[in-house]
A and B are shown apart, each in its own frame.
Chain A
């Protein structure tokens, strides 16, 4: 199993969610985060005092998938979340050791 973590631009969240739904991914966890990579922050001005705000709001998506699904899911996310401009984000894939569905106690592949 794999855990796919994607940091994307916030306005892309709805599109990504729909795309994943279409390929059979029915669940995910979403967090609001701040970050930067190559995208520069913006400046704010208050009564002549200028501030550079480095951290930009992003959305982090986490999806647990079977190992053979990982490639398809990554491509789906990357395809939809891309705008071509700096700041589109990144996708990280990490091995997932165990999953348990709390309600039923199912584990591994049945829990995803």
Chain B
């Protein structure tokens, strides 16, 4: 199997789906001539031309709405936000239009479209450019929200997302584009809503998604040296959530740490903990602990940024605590 970057995995998915279905087009800022702000759409303009790979003015609300309108009449737009931080300007279209169109039209207008772009913090980009939005978007009925953490998942989920007849929010890890991994070639899809047990242990469960999957794997490696074996449950999709996969693991390990990039209050982890207490109450030997970003906007200074972010040492300490080892 070829080892490629997360970025190239996404490009592969786009290329394959653009070739497969001529109703699919990619629209966003700098996606065509510039080859994409993060080079995810590199080479696609030459291959598919300006009606399929469309540069827009800086106008997130506007082109997100253009995507919604074109999906109403049967096209299958992929709307790229240069980052999800800018997509806040377009949330009316994502939340009030795309997510609700099917429902408020009594089933007449499905929204076969994808909103995608980088999410989460990078390095020293400070408060406005370092945010994880999944809990905001996962809150909304009518959307599906994918958060791939590996190149293979990025490809498989993006292809499924483009083929899905529902509006999909696709959150790519800004820090993941250069990460590498084995990616199946050709028509490889992953069902939306299916978690994956990325590491099998048995002593403790770490539930996570997106960029934090890499952190969880680091923690698992470290703990293995101390002969502590953890389950790493990668949700891959945070709406719908694969509750069954979480429950199965926690019922086995009797304890869990929930690791996410975003803030604490109403974060994804809060929802996961709720599912755990509902499904696994009598299996718990310790309160579930959440690891997340500090409850403050992202600072610029290196030391403060490090202190703010969820990371491997914090996750490791949490695992030891739920195991009554620390």
The reply to whether chain A is a binding partner of chain B is: no
